[in-house]
Structure 1
Amino acid sequence: MNAELQPEYLIRYVSPEDTNVAASLLYQAYHDDPILRNVLGDKDEQKFEAKLRALIREELSSFGQGQQPMIGLYEDDRLRAIACLIEADSELQAARYWHWRLRLMMSAGYLQTQALIDKEQAIRDALAQKGHYFFLAFIAVDPHVHGQGFGRTLMRGLEEMIADVPAASGIGVFITNPDHQAFFHHLGYEVFQTLAFNKIRGELMFKATDKSETAL
């Protein structure tokens, strides 16, 4: 699955050799995420950062093993943005991947791991009414190119790709940052449910697939 945007840009599946770059982008993007801060929270910043790195490492591993889309936006073969998606009928459920759960418990702790599993399940339950949805679990843009439209370009590419999936109803995303909510709202996503985890509130947003979309 390739979607050419212009000569120097390309949207495609993230290459295995780019896993470390993808992990770095996600680490920087989610370092101050309020839910992860709350769940993984540790007074020792180094311990928190170690837990976050472990979480991202295990998440990327589970996406690969579950054959779920990890889509990258490349500029001259350099990974500039990444999005990780979960399809509605995927077997990629944290409670089923015992090896993921075990490794994460060893690094992050049992209660923290269970909290993340509960969060995922609550989002799945809420999105169930949307049919065959895709859930945007993670998205990150290289901080060196923030504000240059890479995030918008990646999202447009994802929406075009998903529009080609006959059963796809749309894309859901859970947002805790008001600035991020404004970004997705600008792209046509609408809030349809408010969820709270460990006293951290966020908005579950959704954009229905436009089957009439044409290639960019």
Structure 2
Amino acid sequence: MNVELQTELTIRYVSPEDTNVAASLLYQAYHDDPVLRSVLDSSNETKFETKLRALIREELSSFGHGQQPMIGLYEDDRLRAVACLIEADSELQAQRYWHWRLRLMMSAGYLQTQALIDKESAIREALAPCGHYFFLAFIAVDPHVHGRGFGKALLQGLEEMIHDVPAASGIGVFVTHEKHQSFFAHLGYQVHDILEFNKVRGEVMFKAIAK
């Protein structure tokens, strides 16, 4: 896939050599995520940041092993935004690889790992009525280019990609920040359910993809 949006912007699968850049963008984007701060215990900032880096590293590894889409928006071959998708009923969606769980337990802790798996299961259950959906597990935009519409362009590219999957019904996402909820709502996502994890409330939002 290589969708050209403008003369200098393209959307394509993230190349292996850009994995570290993708990890950095995700770290910056999710550093203040209230659910992750609660689950990974942010009382000790140094330990929290170590656990967050480990989580992102293992997540990206599991996406690679599970052959699930990691899509990037590039500006002149520089990765500016990244999105990680999980297809419903995929092996990655149905059951995390045992080696992913083991490595994450060793770095983030058993209780934290189990809490993240429980969160994923609850979101999956909430989205079950949506059919064969794609779940937007992570999305991040380079903070140096915020306000330039890169996030919107990336999501539009994802919708084009999913439109070409015959069985795909749409895209789901779980958001906790009000500004992110407004962002997705503006792009046509609707509130599908409300969930709470570790006393942090969030909205499961869904956008159906017209065929």
The TM-score bracket by the shorter chain reads over 0.9
Please say if residues 94 and 117 of structure 1, whose CA atoms lie closer than 8 Å, have aligned partners that are also in contact.
no
Change (3 A) 1:94 1:54: farther
The whole-number CA distance in structure 2 between the counterparts of 1:159 and 1:43 is 38
User: Could you tell me the TM-score, scaled by structure 2's length?
Assistant: 0.98
List runs of 5+ in structure 2 lacking aligned partners. Answer: none
Q: How does 1:37-76 map to 2 (within 5 A)?
A: 37-76=37-76
1:108-141: CA deviation from partner (whole Å, max 9, x where unpaired): 1000000000000111111110000000000000
Q: How does 1:144-163 map to 2 (within 5 A)?
A: 144-163=144-163
RMSD: 0.9
Question: Offset of 1:42 from its aligned partner?
Answer: 3.7
The whole-number CA distance in structure 1 between the counterparts of 2:94 and 2:49 is 21
The whole-number CA distance in structure 2 between the counterparts of 1:204 and 1:30 is 17
2:31 corresponds to: 31
Please say if residues 132 and 167 of structure 1, whose CA atoms lie closer than 8 Å, have aligned partners that are also in contact.
yes
2:105 corresponds to: 105
The whole-number CA distance in structure 1 between the counterparts of 2:117 and 2:18 is 26
Q: How many aligned positions are there?
A: 211
List runs of 5+ in structure 1 lacking aligned partners. Answer: 212-216
Please say if residues 193 and 203 of structure 1, whose CA atoms lie closer than 8 Å, have aligned partners that are also in contact.
yes
| Percentage of matched positions with identical amino acids | 81
The one-letter amino acid paired with 1:144 is H
The one-letter amino acid paired with 2:61 is S
Please say if residues 194 and 201 of structure 1, whose CA atoms lie closer than 8 Å, have aligned partners that are also in contact.
yes
Q: Which runs of 4+ in 1 moved over 2 A?
A: 93-96
Task: Report whether the alignment pairs 1:22 with 2:49.
Answer: no
The whole-number CA distance in structure 2 between the counterparts of 1:103 and 1:33 is 22
Q: How does 1:40-189 map to 2 (within 5 A)?
A: 40-93=40-93, 95-189=95-189
1:46-72: CA deviation from partner (whole Å, max 9, x where unpaired): 110000000000000000000000000
1:205 corresponds to: 205
Please say if residues 175 and 204 of structure 2, whose CA atoms lie closer than 8 Å, have aligned partners that are also in contact.
yes
The one-letter amino acid paired with 2:140 is A
The whole-number CA distance in structure 2 between the counterparts of 1:56 and 1:199 is 23
User: Could you tell me the TM-score, scaled by structure 1's length?
Assistant: 0.96
- Give 3-state SS (helix, strand or coil) of 1:113's partner: helix
The whole-number CA distance in structure 1 between the counterparts of 2:56 and 2:94 is 13
Question: Offset of 1:90 from its aligned partner?
Answer: 0.7
